[in-house]
Amino acid sequence: MKKHIIALTAIVTLSVGTAGQASASSVHTVEKGDTLWSISQAENVSVQDLQTWNDLNSTVIYPSQQLKVEEAVQTYVVVTGDTLFNIAEKYNMTVNQLMTNNQLTSDLIKPGDKLVLDGAKVIQPKVSAATTTTSVTSNAPTSETKTTASVEKELTMTATAYTASCAGCSGITATGINLKANPNQKVISVDPTVIPLGSKVWVEGYGEAIAGDTGGAIKGNKIDIFIPTKQEALNWGRKTVKVKVLN
């Protein structure tokens, strides 16, 4: 269950019309069973974002700990006579920055619009099962999943496979996903300097997955995909695949 605390909301009346700006942040109170990965999924942010915003050096969290789940955001309410140019000039920004922060495709704005200023992260909507053209119910790479999510970057990588049933394996990933309890979860092991932990990805021949684990041998352009059974992992072997990091 999510708990949010609205930390601060301030409205400042400026010299022109009813323009104002606001600053707000949300906090999640950690409950028993929470992991950074489960919180990142609920809040539609990445594990790396949560670690950055909360100065965390690892993925270990504790019950009752309070975590910021979004950056402080400054907004500006458009009034009659405003243009992107004069708003950008007032806040020492460029028009391109304003347009990028607010996903604008033109410079048309109208009174009452709320524009995100600096220090903000635009959150993309989650990709649900309804946005895919092929449904995948097993982790075995037997069908290709097509995604309509936008692609942040595309890589060519070497892919091997692993299971959670090896001798001495806990089945718990670096981001806290229990693979033994969730054998159909699509997870890949990555080098976080190449693909940030918590990223949504698409892997050729495997489908959509979460970058939720790391490995000592997984460095650079290498990934390890999770497959439930040892035989399926052996069948996968070693392949060169395309990997898309999704927004």
pLDDT for 4:
44
Residue among 115, 91, 112 nearest 104 (CA)? 115
Is the pLDDT at 202 greater than 90? The verdict is yes
Instruction: List residues bridging with 208 in a β-sheet.
Output: 202
Per-residue confidence at 73, pLDDT binned at 50, 70, 90? low
Predicted pLDDT at 24: 41
Give the residues across from 226 on adjacent strands.
162
The answer to whether residue 199 scores a pLDDT higher than 80 is: yes
As a whole number, mean pLDDT of residues 66-85 equals 80
pLDDT tens track for 205-230 = 999 999 989 988 999 999 999 998 88
Name the more confident of 18 and 200: 200
0.75 exceeded by the pTM? no
pLDDT in tens, 86-126: 888 888 888 888 888 788 887 788 888 888 876 434 333 33
Confidence of residue 71 (pLDDT cuts 50, 70, 90): low
Of 81, 79, 76, nearest to 98 (Cα)? Answer: 76
Segment 18-29 mean pLDDT: 55
- pLDDT tens-digit map of 27-65: 889 998 889 888 888 888 888 888 888 888 888 888 889
Q: What is the mean pLDDT of the chain?
A: 76
**What domains, with CATH codes, occur in the chain?**
21-116 (3.10.350.10), 129-246 (2.40.40.10)
CB 213 within 8 A of CB 125: no
Chain segment 129-141, per-residue pLDDT in tens: 333 333 334 455 5
Query: Tell me: the pLDDT tens digits for 147-190?
Result: 556 777 899 999 999 998 877 778 888 888 888 888 888 999 99
Residue 34's φ and ψ, nearest 5 degrees, are: -70, 145
Between 161 and 145, residue with greater pLDDT: 161
